[in-house]
A and B are shown apart, each in its own frame.
Chain A
Amino acid sequence: MDVKTFQGGAHIPHYKSYTEDKPITRLSPPKKVIVPLLQHMGAPCEPLVKEGDKVELGQKIGDSDETFSAPVHASISGTVTEVGKRTVPTGGEDDCIVIEAGDGPQEFEMKQIRDPENIDLEEYRKCVREGGLTGMGGAALPTHVQVKYNEQVDTLLLNGAECEPFLTCDQRIMVEKAEQLVKAADLMMKSIGAKRTLFGIEVNKPDAIEAINELVKDRDDMEVVSLAVKYPQGFKSHLIKAATGRDVPRGARSAELGCIVRNVGTTVASYEACVYGKPLIERVVTVSGPKVTKPGNYLVRIGTPVGHILEECGVEDLENHKVVLGGPMTGLAQPHLDVPIVKSTTGVIVLPPEMTREWMEYTDCVRCDKCVEHCPMMLYPNQISIYAEASMYDTAEEWDLMDCIECGICSYVCPAARPIVHWVQRAKPEIQKRQRSRK
């Protein structure tokens, strides 16, 4: 088998055996949901409801006039009890709509409202916007801005790499919804005007590769690209490089690369938004960790508090544990359990103390070069970390700090346990400020 990949990167134990064979199951609806008004990159939504309003499952409760935005919907039927600041998974507080469960349907009825064989593309694009679709793999860009017709784009690249440890939600979607995924890809490909669709999948998911290969093997315009199991294979830039061989220079737009990358979950959800009229009110979330009694891939409502999920999955003692939303390499550790699941939450990972590192106990860089060896961006994380730690931002910029994709490999391999990504994240806004003032 021809296996493709990129330079650098590292093999990280993937801990997927906890959940890779667990079929997607529906989690019981929570008694309340907390729906953030900003779940995407771009402008936040304005609330369309107020305290005391009755809302129905699937009802639009927030929207914006800005192009770069995506509406949000009620993920349960009930009463709005609060519109205000709540802790969100991206850190800090933000405007949210809190709904308490009440009367009305609590399950979305999957009734076909459009014939999938015969869909008007303009209508499809409208459905994607109205359905509140955003990237569900992490970056959370509003999907509708990237399904427009674009003659420069020849390739739709579906991201099924899922290189983060523990996560298996995309794998399960590819295995269980392969047929729908291929139809969804067909539709999206037509909408964009791409000539071909590539499915990029790491070879540690043979079931997913086989399921999709079975469906596309006779087609000229679709192909499965087997990718080496290497972190961070699923990052957009490295997926493009591995699957198409194209370089991804800084600042390049997808169109200039002739390539649009879509997460497999987003692709299926876009299809459902159009064919069934189902807005993005739930998603598949991997709940995993060595101490989770019932790990699995669960269909979870957007806005479900993490506490409800952990309770359902049999997690009891959390003393000194870390609860991470997203994958363990790039996800965020949460301060408490009333934080909601959002459209881009791929996983809820519970890490016991022995698996994580005490991050304050780092020492000086010993120049072992392991970060240089593994950096997928060909940077010098060792130098960057020294200058960023010392707030020498101009020098850090000379060492290309701004190109860092924050994948976390450098900190993972660092024997001195240096929190390199943390310093990079601290430096970036400061350097951006300086770049703007230079212009």
Chain B
Amino acid sequence: MVSDTQKLVISPSPHLKGKETVSSAMRDVFVALIPVAAVAIYFYHAYAAFLIGVCLVTAVLTELLFKKLQNKKPALHDWSALLTGLFVAMLFTATTPWWKAAIATFIAVGIAKELMGGLGWNRFNPALFGRVAMIFLAPLFAYVDGWFAPLAVNMGAVDVVTQATPLAMLNAGMEMPPLGQLFLAFPGGALSEVSPLALLIGAAYLFYKKHITWHIPVSMLAAIAILTLVAGQNPLYHLFTGGIMIGAFFMATDWVTSPFTDRGKLIFGACIGILVVIFRLGLSPTEGVAFSILIMNAFVPYIDKVMKRPSFSEPKKQAQAS
């Protein structure tokens, strides 16, 4: 017998839900970074593992602290803090002093994400914001390094760290390693720069899961390829060195800080590509990708506004013209 006293659930429509949640999506991005993190650990052993660990722990503690300060419920289960921590770690070289990486993570999670209003409200990619902040704070570290020096952890020598990075070799016009090797795996630079192939494997997973679309990576990489070709350089060397790969597939495609529509994404990606080439060939030899993406992040609301598509109900104008 169906009785009237049973508790029925009432809520607005729709009553069905899709499978995807913010947590599952963020976790998928985290998983997509594991291949490149694994290659980094393969090259740098304890250095890489330690740096990643420091950033993850800092990210969690920072999130807890800032949620507490703002009287909000902690949202660790949405994976966004952990993901930002991992991203920050991937943007540093293996021998970066751990306190620098920790401070960058603190800035990324605490300032660039939480103080901007939390996940969804941040206008700039938090990890890149944290990374670039460290460049501007560099003079400060002349003092700070001294205080932290006794806390340095010695994990023995890693010879691969001392050689020039492929990007530096490219800038200096040195003889480059074979392209195939660069693509597969080659030590040097930030943790994320060790293997374009591993990044592509992660990106393929994100495509498969439909978390990213082709628009931003393709327009960005195409812009870089065309412009470097016009400048008389081998585009492949550019694409496979520095932060272009992680930038194109993981950073520029960040949900929160990229435009809404496909057309907006194409413009956004192409502009980043143009800026990257300007940085690489003209301005600063390093961190061009990070700067380019952050600059374009600032333009996203403008791109969204200009590229607004007409509503299905918008009357078409050509009717009276013909």
Contact = CB atoms under 8 A, between A and B. Distances in A.
A311 B1 contact: yes
A341 to B, nearest CB: 15
Given A363-B75, A400-B311, A329 B22 contact: no
Interface residues of A, number: 72
B8 interface: yes
Contacts of B78: 363
Contacts of A363: 22, 75, 78, 119-120
Given A321-B9, A323-B8, A408-B14, A316 B2 contact: yes
Given A165-B16, A337-B4, A417 B21 contact: yes
Contacts, number: 173
Task: Tell me whether chain B's interface is mostly helix, strand or loop, or mixed.
Answer: loop
B314 interface: yes
Interface residues of B, number: 44
A166 B39 CA distance: 48
A366 B256 contact: yes
B175 interface: no
A392 interface: no
Contact of A307 (B4, B9, B120): B4
B10 A335 contact: yes
Contacts of A356: 9, 11, 15-17
Contact of A337 (B2, B24, B120, B310): B2
Task: Tell me whether chain A's interface is mostly helix, strand or loop, or mixed.
Answer: loop
B68 interface: no
Contacts of A248: 312-313
Contact of B13 (A317, A329, A379): A329
Given A322-B9, A333-B15, A417-B21, 10 more contacts: A237-B312, A250-B311, A321-B8, A328-B16, A329-B14, A333-B10, A368-B211, A400-B314, A403-B313, A415-B20
30 contacts: A13-B16, A249-B313, A316-B1, A318-B8, A322-B8, A324-B13, A328-B14, A329-B16, A333-B11, A333-B15, A337-B8, A351-B15, A351-B16, A356-B11, A356-B17, A363-B78, A365-B120, A366-B120, A366-B256, A367-B257, A368-B211, A369-B260, A376-B312, A377-B312, A377-B313, A403-B311, A408-B14, A411-B13, A416-B21, A417-B17
Interface of B: 1-2, 4, 6-18, 20-22, 24-25, 75, 78, 117-121, 211, 255-258, 260-261, 308-316
